[in-house]
Amino acid sequence: MSKKRLLRIFCISLGAYLFFSYVLLPLRIEGRSMEPTYADGGFSFCRRLQYLFSEPKRGDVVAIRFAGRQVVLLKRVVALTGDTVEFQNGVLLVNNQRVSEPYVRYNSNWNLPPRQVAPGKVYVVGDNRGVPMEQHHFGQVSTQRILGKVGFSATL
């Protein structure tokens, strides 16, 4: 193989590594906490630069670094810093206002007393609420743990 060809392969490999590590992170979805929006066994991409100059907004689906580099959770932002969030018989209330959640197909009777979102944090929860609260990872998370905004989803 010629030096030019090796250099070209190296540059393309390095570019692909950097792009898919720092710009558009591929995600394989395992679990049902975000169904029906993101299906178990599917894949998606996390736009890492989305929050470089802005903060997450209510309704955004975000990728959150949970443990190390390998475990990432997908969750929906439902409340922002300073908001009060609670669940009453499965109904999400933010600042004492009922939140319309057309993406939630399976609801349950979750009850959670009001709590205020601390500075530098957002409140996240999965879309699949058809199982008991105890089986979900949700709550306040530091915005520094958010890797980026999750884009489209595809199932293989």
Count Cβ atoms within 10 A of the Cβ of residue 145 and give its class: 0-12 exposed, 13-18 middle, 19 or more buried. middle
Tens digit of pLDDT at every position of the chain (156 positions): 788 999 999 999 999 998 888 888 888 888 888 888 888 888 899 999 889 889 999 999 999 987 766 778 899 999 999 999 999 998 999 999 999 999 888 778 899 999 999 999 999 999 988 878 888 888 999 999 999 999 866 555
For the record, the structure tokens of 115 come out as: 């709590």
The residues, ordered by sequence, that sit 6+ positions from 148 with a Cβ below 8 Å of its Cβ are 25, 46, 47, 48, 49, 50, 51, 62, 63
Tokens of 54: 């802005």
CA gap 121, 139 in Å, rounded: 10
* Domains of the chain and CATH, by start: 47-149 (2.10.109.10)
